[in-house]
Structure 1
Amino acid sequence: MAKVNETGSSGAHKDWHLSYNALALTRRAFHGHPLTGDEPGADELIELGIVVYEPWNRRYAAVDLQRLQRRVHAEQRARISDLLHEQTTADHFFEGMARLEKEKVSGIQYAADFGEAQAALQSALAGATSLIRTAHPITRPAESLKVSLSIDLPRLERGVGLKTIYPDSARARGPERDYAKTVSEHGAEVRTIAGSFIRCIIIDELLAVVSDYRTVPAPRDTGWLITHPGILAFVTQVFETQWEMAAPWMGDRARSVDGGTITNTRTREILRRFSRGETIKQMASGMGLSVATINSEISNLYEQTGTSSQFALGAWWASSDERKLTP
């Protein structure tokens, strides 16, 4: 017995399948025997339209099969057309939503590409008169820092303030150290922070550019341009909270101790073991020291290198020339 499932024009699901009783009744109907409608299986034939009610004799009779098939095909094509129309309408809807997302609405504008964001940002930076706040949680390329320096120094000389935040790991990277040292000498304030923080730029508390954190990590080249006073105040508060958590940095690599080096024989051994992935307890056991002594030495290294996390300390050690010292 063949079986075909579909949804009827009323939205109900049709089951093109006949039971044994319904097949027997179909044979009777096709041979001209009317049905009362009460026979087992009659409801299946009525639902599918194979038999129809004839009021003059109060019985059900078989329909023309080819005509029924043409009607069913017509209904199916109509449903397919409705579904295609619904799909087209949905596509138009989402296209409209995508355009709306990119439009400036109540002080919030989505910048869909790097060029659009940069154009708005550079225009605002050129007109800055009071204070620029920036937070850069990702590594800045040397060429980008060079371009920024050529723009930031004249702005600082005009009296426009600059507060900028970098990750602790920046202390181990030459280009960022050089940038921090130079702008600090011209009056900028630079700090570093351990862990993740929000990437943003705030200009005179009139415009903020915030990365698009709908996806994590946030894309580098898209973001939100914000001029809405309430949201702008919130973004500024987020920056200031991050600023209070950060440690001052003037671009120095680290504070050196006697002899011109930061490390000594013991701390270099700790750092080498640390880079091999040993735990504090493993270091203490291997070096014949207490856990408290190892922790104290690591705390001193944090202070001397200007770092505040194991990740940042490891990054400093990985780039340090003191790795070449022996023992």
Structure 2
Amino acid sequence: MCQIPDEGTQNGEMSVCETGTAVYRAAITHGSASGDIPECLLRLGLLRPQDGEPDVFLPVPPDVAAHHLALPIERAVRAQQQRLLDLRAAFSLVEALYREEQQQAVAPVRLLEGLEVIEATLWKLTESCQSEFQSSHPGPRPPRALAEALPRSRTMLERGVRQRTLYQHSARSHGPTLDYMEQVHALGGEFRTHYEVFGRVLLFDRSVALIPEGRYKGGHHHNALIVEHAGVVGFLADVFDHAWHLAVPVTFGTPDTRPAPLTDEKRRMVLRLMVEGHTDAAIASRLSMSTRTVANHVKRAAEAYGSRSRAQLAYLLAKSGHLE
């Protein structure tokens, strides 16, 4: 006898064996069949027992038998299709809600165009800052920028907000910056300087950052990016903390005493960059000083070491270990 795989078997294969074909042909010809009936004919419904005579089987037209077997499958398919439609309809409602809320939510990074927009945003962030303000400023700040920053600093410090600011060592000899630092320091602000500062950034409560718009760096455009992505702002705050730990504190004594420039530190950094192969212009840009100042530091070192060329000076400096 033939064997028909169960409905759950691979590919759900169903077919009529040779014996089944012969028996079915005989049943059609004689009107019925009896004896051993191949299982394939019974599984496919091509033969059915005659009423009152269970040993006699009558032929069933193929289309009728196929319809009988297909009906529950078609019902199951329709039920699954309806379930799929209901599922999509249910998610379409919440998807529309999600998109609407996302559009109304604040974007993690936004472009601020124009000085007026940036200034208004700074004041908004200043007024909402509750615990800490951190800022990093490579290079000298224009007197106008310092004048605009002073009332914002005063507003936060008087409210008990901690303020920490990083500058390059060159700020210690920049008059307008010293004036600003002295006034803010008197209110409780903290300042430190380093050879290089990683970049310009303003951080409010370690949750919002303001950075320059990089495409216009050094140009005439006045644009900035406001960043509110927790991961990015947290990373910037950690970078600031690391730089702050390495920087040198700026302290003020009596009102007439200002912090002395870190001449030795500055000269050592100039020479270290020179040994690494940087040009005077590149060193001046990185350390926020004039190329003339860089050249003077290199000249004095050359005289001290008795070198006759820049390459020889670099070799002697590296060999001496004085820059370590």
TM range (shorter): 0.3 to 0.5
Q: TM-score, normalised by structure 1?
A: 0.46
* Larger-gyration structure (1/2): 2
TM superposition score normalised by structure 2: 0.46
